[in-house]
Structure 1
Amino acid sequence: MRLFGSAGRLRSLLCAIAFGLVLASPARALDIEYTPASKLNNVTLAGSHNTYDKKSDFEYLTYALDKVQVIELDVWAAAGKWYVSHSSPLGNVNNCPKSGVIGADRNQDLRSCIDSLRTWHDSHPQHELVIVKMELKAGLLNSPASLDDLISDISGGGAAARIPASSIFKPSDLMCFNAPSCTSQYATPEEAARAGNWPTLQSLRGKFMFMMVPGTVSDSGPRTYAAALRTGQAQIVFPAVFANASTASADPRLSYYTGSDAASRPWNVVFDMQSGVLDSGSVPASVTGWMAQNNFLIFVSDSTPGGSSVDVTAGRARLRSLSQTYRANVVDTDQETSGIPYAFDRP
């Protein structure tokens, strides 16, 4: 049985002390050069690819937050279960410790991954924005509302929240004319983004942002969540769509949200892509230029920006190039511990 609120966190702390464990991660070395007054759509943040699967680099999930602001979880969601693994739809293989307690057994489900973030959050209350990128491997076969409840207990009013909704930057927050009072709103996230309503990094301190990308087995997850977001049945996560060689138009949403789902397009203001499709021209700079012009967020995966030799100078030049040429807001990599990742104002 999981204890919620201060009692649950106290139990976790006492368990850690009893086993002589240290809750804090190793010395923090997050490299940030952006201006706190910069808006989220005008910076480039450092990210990690498949963070949950890198036990040799990050013994526990939150240790990655010493190096990057964007982490990734692969989730298999079906029949009320929330497994976190790369290729096992019925098992957990990851660096998330049970109930978020450093030193406890790893290979836990999504609940413990979120518990880990909450434990870290409580120890770093003024942390920089942390973005959690979730790939729903086989789609979202549990309800979108159940995902929101797992994170923030929306249906229960937040009493059992792992991470309170107030500590999460949500699509509805983007839509607020006058945050935090939010007495009036833009009609959709797209309208808000086009108006440049993204918050500053300073105002996002102490907050998380969750985003969802299509899975490799089924790409339906963001489509399912966006429909729930549009109809008021979900509120926590930003859906994202891939830009790739098969998206012929400047707007990849046109081929992803079709038929009755076309109405969900304005609820998707985040795009994800591989650096290879940019380098090859399959997705031309004009497409990412259009995204940036409309103040949409652009996530780019580049596994080895420093090359096979892990050259830090070349790697950082590569990050700046992806930011300037393709307007990337996030670049995630497999070279997280190399000294290459850093966050900066987008040129």
Structure 2
Amino acid sequence: MSPFDPPITAIRDVVARALAEDLTPLGDISAALLPPGATATAVLRSRAAGVVAGCACVTEVLDQVDRRLAVEWQVVDGDPVEPGGVVGVVSGPLGSLLTAERTALNLLSHLSGVATLTRRFVDAAGPGLRVWDTRKTTPGLRALEKAAVRAGGGASHRGNLSEWVMLKDNHLELVDMAEAVAQARAWFPARTVHVECDTHEKVGEALDAGADALLLDNMTPEEARACVATIDAHAEEVGRRRPVVEISGGITLETVRAYADVGADLVSSGSLTSSAPVLDIGLDVVSTWLEGDESGPPERRRSPGPG
């Protein structure tokens, strides 16, 4: 398994739901009109420059539709692709291939779009500032989209509300920060405690409370730099490793570079998963034949297997 692949259980679930959405209640009634034995080879081709993600999802779509469908990948998740570049070659029963086409392309194009936007953020941020995703994901697709962020060169933030304790401004409206951090330590001693800070004063409170990570929210580069200086000085004073420092809030491709030298560890943007345009990838049938027809390519003729 690649680190860019989502958990196989998540892939299977998403694919099963997507196919059910397309095939309920009567199946693919257009593909049913094709002659028995119709077989084809098709090429998955990118129509724009980008980064590929979602290959495992396509493989699962083909497998769930018809195990006779096979794909030969020319790239792997995380690889760049240019306009006209071949991503993979699919072969098998034509009807099954056409049934699988849209679900496969929807997942591949969307996840490749996430990876492509992430790569642009990574390049814009530069080598000293890691790019993180958020929980602003498409419902039901979080594991897949976070894997696509990794394929684009980014890193995965917490996957859900159970993984980290994150105290944001709304949590702290009626709860004292120091008390909240202490209670988190008591109830969930192995969990990272992350505190959102939108002012220099809150940074000081979070440091005194012993937070593991600080989110500097909606700060200018100058404000963030001043906060990082305070965080570094506090770590030296108390003689322990400084908290992880994240920059977030309104970060765009145009502004992320300005935060590269403020001393933070990570920058996060919900746009990676919530606003990524698809990477335009198409599927073009390049040859068809009837199974058993002697005029068909001998190397491509095969006996039907289990559906």
TM-score, length basis structure 2: 0.38
Give 1 or 2 for the bigger CA radius of gyration: 2
Greater relative CO, 1 or 2 (CA 8 Å, sep 6+): 2
Greater fraction helix: 2
